[in-house]
Chains A and B, each alone.
Chain A
Amino acid sequence: MSVTGQLQFNSLKNYMKRAPSSVSTSMLGPNTLQFFGSWYTRDLVIPHGLPGDKVPMFRAYYEPYRDGKVFEAFQDTQYYYSTPINTYGGTEDAPTMLAFADQDNVTLRLFFTQNIYAAVSFNVHCIIYQDYGAVA
């Protein structure tokens, strides 16, 4: 048996393999050039590198309050304005996040109602799966 640096094992479970393009990084707050009347956005574009024109399955998370709490992406295409959780009268401006994929990239998009965090970084985490996905 040769050792190639790869891990090989048998299991009675199935596994979701993660693509090397999965990332845990940070992205800046609102881009003031991306103002759409009542909200700002900022995009982080992640080339997923999957072969065969696949659109991958993915999971996206972020830390909207910059306090170490990891939330799943908001993923509500109807209502994406700040803030991510119901506060009803709260004054914080924590972003919401939508994530979407195409044949080349997974895009994480933060939405803000103010631009006060333009120079502030937000931690984001994106898991991109290796062997699953639709061929568009």
Chain B
Amino acid sequence: MPSPSLQNIDLLALLTNGSVDRVLSDFAGNTTTYSVAAATLSGGFYLPKTDTYTIPNPARKKCLINMVYSVNGVDFFPQKYRLYQPGNPIPAGRLGAVAGAAVDANFITFYFTHYIGSQVDYTMFWVLDNIL
């Protein structure tokens, strides 16, 4: 029976035999920042600059991560592990920087690659939930 206080049908009670996404750590506060040094200019081309950054996994179990990243604090993109054909210089409209993440029972590892000639300040918003 719906709660008498229920006013929005879109928030109707859940009735299921299956599982749901159970978030292990709230989105708020799950912001990680990390700066990657500038790519090196060599022969007129920027070499790919890769880096990793590891933090403890607050869930302390293997789980799934959803993440978006930004290099300007305004525009956020889905995580991406690999950057291809950025061009030298980076073509107009291309970001030239990616970030992805992996989770094991103990750590969250962030992976970065960029082709930018100055320090890149990444911001990552992430959330963890159960595998099943």
Contact = CB atoms under 8 A, between A and B. Distances in A.
A85 B104 contact: no
Interface in A1-23: 5-20, 22-23
A112 B2 CA distance: 52
B100 A71 contact: yes
B21 A16 contact: yes
Contacts of B19: 17-18, 22
A69 B15 contact: no
A114 interface: no
B109 A14 contact: no
A14 B109 CA distance: 29
Nearest to B132: A24
Contact of A9 (B14, B83, B105, B131): B14
A14 B8 CA distance: 11
A118 B6 CA distance: 55
A101 B106 CA distance: 32
Contacts of A125: 64, 131-132
B50 interface: yes
Chain A at the B interface: mostly helix, strand, loop or mixed?
loop
A5 B15 CA distance: 11
B17 A6 contact: yes
A97 to B, nearest CB: 11
Contacts of B113: 85-86
Contact of B111 (A20, A78, A85): A85
B18 A69 contact: no
Interface in B114-131: 131
Contacts of B17: 5-6, 20
A15 B3 CA distance: 17
B18 A17 contact: yes
B84 A78 contact: yes
Contacts of B83: 86
Interface string A60-102: 0100000111111010101100001111100000000000000
Interface of B: 2-3, 6, 10-11, 13-21, 48, 50, 62-65, 79-84, 100, 102-105, 109, 111, 113, 131-132
Given A18-B132, A76-B82, 10 more contacts: A6-B16, A7-B14, A7-B15, A8-B15, A16-B20, A22-B19, A68-B105, A69-B104, A70-B65, A84-B81
